[in-house]
Amino acid sequence: MNPLDIYEKPSCFPHSLAILLIPFLFLGGIIGAYLGYLSLKVEPHTLGIVTFIFVVFAFFVRHNANYAVCHIRGTFRSMDDALKEALAENALSIMGQTKSTLYIEKFMKEYYKDVRNDNFAKVAPSVFPMLGILGTFVAIAISMPDFTSKDVGGLDNDISMLLSGIGTAFYASIYGIMLSLVWTYFENRGLSKIERQIYDLERVYGKQIWSEAELIKHRHMQSELKDQEIVQTLKDTFNLDFVKELNEQYLVNFTTIIKDTTHSFTSITQSMQLASNSLRKTIEDIEAKKSNVTAVQRLEANIEHFTQSATMLQETLSKFDGSVEHTFVKIDEELGNAVTKLASFTEVLSEQNSQILNNLSKFTPKD
């Protein structure tokens, strides 16, 4: 919760009125000139632009440092109580003396960070002149004649209107620059008041806060004490008696390590020999088993080859039996055919003999 809400906020209207006084008087003069109370010509659009710039300035007033000082003074008691609590929370004891490490300036900025917007305060001096220049160009654009007159008199009238509009338009730029100057004056005045208040607080609570020089001195002292401790530690470390005892202990430890290492190497050597013998035996067994496996494989190959040969022989015999049987059948058929042909030939010879005999009987003379 904001600490300013705990206590009733003071009325800062006089401070805001002081900031708005000069801009308001200028605006009043513009209004008086527009109404004819002053011998200045002011166009309606110029009055409207100046009034708009004044409204923007009034919105920025609460972010001015001179206005923020009023809130700071009004809540001084609550801020003082919070400052004492912060001093106690940041207490540091050095060599029997207790002080705080709090920086009052940082505490003030943090405590009053919600009083105003620093971004608005920074851009305000440049915003108002830009608004004035923008208002000037707007006023010139509005009062610009169309220059459509064809005669010299009309053209002179248009030029007079343009110059008159330009003259009143510059009031906006003048007003913006004046507001920037007013803002800068009250801003610097408020900042100087805040710095003065911080200075007073530092003077009041200065004895309760460690200064930067004291902290630096303490850091150097701590560094020097550490260096002394390191030097003393080195002296104790390189003491001759300590070094002698350390060497003796080192020699004992080294001898013990050598013995343990020798025993370990002996055990490892024996273990390696046993492993080598076991490995050699295993290799011999593997070679013997490998020969047996090779013989079995060869025997199986021979048996398979014999089986294949027997199968081929059986097939050949089967084919041979078929061929012999077929041959005998063919012989029988051929013999049958030969006998048949021989019988036919015999018949033919008989017939021929008969015919010869008949023929001979015809040519034989009768008795």
- Write out pLDDT tens, residues 113-126: 878 888 888 999 99
Contacts 24+ apart (CB under 8 A), 44-49: 45/138, 45/139, 45/142, 45/143, 46/135, 46/139, 46/168, 46/169, 46/171, 46/172, 49/135, 49/138, 49/139, 49/172
Q: Which residue has the higher pLDDT, 181 or 46?
A: 181
**Percent of the chain at pLDDT exceeding 70:** 64
pLDDT value at position 295? Answer: 59
pLDDT value at position 3? Answer: 40
Kindly report which listed range (74-83, 313-322, 350-359) carries the lowest average pLDDT score.
313-322
Distance in angstroms (rounded) separating the CA atoms of residues 160 and 157: 5
pLDDT value at position 24? Answer: 94
Helix (H, G, I), strand (E, B) or coil at 92: strand
Distance in angstroms (rounded) separating the CA atoms of residues 65 and 222: 43
- Write out pLDDT tens, residues 341-359: 666 767 776 777 677 777 6
pLDDT level of residue 223 (50, 70, 90 thresholds): confident
Q: What is the pTM of this model?
A: 0.53
Mean pLDDT of 39-65: 89
- Residues 6+ away with beta carbon under 8 Å from 88: 100
Q: Which two tokens stand for residue 310?
A: 């027997």
pLDDT value at position 188? Answer: 93
Q: What are phi and psi of 37, to 5 degrees?
A: -80, -20
Going by C-alpha positions, the residue among 293, 107, 20 that lies closest to residue 28 is 20
pLDDT value at position 293? Answer: 60
pLDDT level of residue 131 (50, 70, 90 thresholds): very high
Most confident of 177-191, 201-215, 344-358: 177-191
Residue ranges covered by each domain of the chain: 3-211
Q: Which two tokens stand for residue 188?
A: 């610097």
Mean pLDDT of 303-311: 69
Kindly report which listed range (19-28, 144-153, 158-167) carries the lowest average pLDDT score.
144-153
